[in-house]
Amino acid sequence: MSRIQVVGIGPAAILATACTAVSATPADSAPTGVNQPAATSAASQSKPATDSTSATSSGPANDGTAKFGQAFTWEDGLSLAVGKPSSFKPGEWAIGKEKFTKFVVFDVRVVNKTGKPWDPSLISATIQSSNQEGSQVYDSGSLGEDPSTELLNGREVKFKIAFGVHEPKDLVLATAPDFAHDSAIFTS
Sign, CA torsion 150/19/115/67: positive
* Mean pLDDT, residues 68-96: 95
pLDDT higher for 74 or 45? 74
- Determine if the pTM surpasses 0.85: no
Q: Which residues, other chains included, contact 39 with Cβ-Cβ below 8 Å and sequence gap of 6+?
A: 45
pLDDT given at position 109: 96
pLDDT band at 37 (very low <50, low <70, confident <90, very high): low
* Mean pLDDT, residues 137-161: 95
Give the CATH fold of the 22-187 domain.
Answer: Immunoglobulin-like (2.60.40)
Distance, in Å, from the CA atom of 188 to the CA atom of 186, rounded to the nearest integer, reads: 7
Average pLDDT in the chain: 80
User: 70-96 burial, b if ≥16 CB within 10 A, otherwise e?
Assistant: bbbbbebbbbbbbbbbeebebeeebeb
Q: Specify the length of the chain in residues.
A: 188
Element housing 115 (H / E): none
pLDDT digits (tens, 9 = 90+) for 44-71: 332 223 333 333 334 444 567 999 999 9
Q: In DSSP terms, which residues pair with 30 in a beta bridge?
A: none
Q: In DSSP terms, which residues pair with 118 in a beta bridge?
A: 151
* Mean pLDDT, residues 110-121: 97
* Mean pLDDT, residues 1-17: 42
Task: Please measure the distance between the N-terminal and C-terminal CA atoms of the chain and give it in whole angstroms.
Answer: 27
pLDDT higher for 82 or 37? 82
pLDDT given at position 9: 40
Q: In DSSP terms, which residues pair with 80 in a beta bridge?
A: 72, 110
The answer to whether residues 29 and 72 touch, using CB atoms and an 8 Å cutoff, is: no
Identify the DSSP state of 121. Answer: G
In the chain, pLDDT over 90 holds for what percent of residues? 65
Q: Is the pLDDT of residue 169 over 50?
A: yes
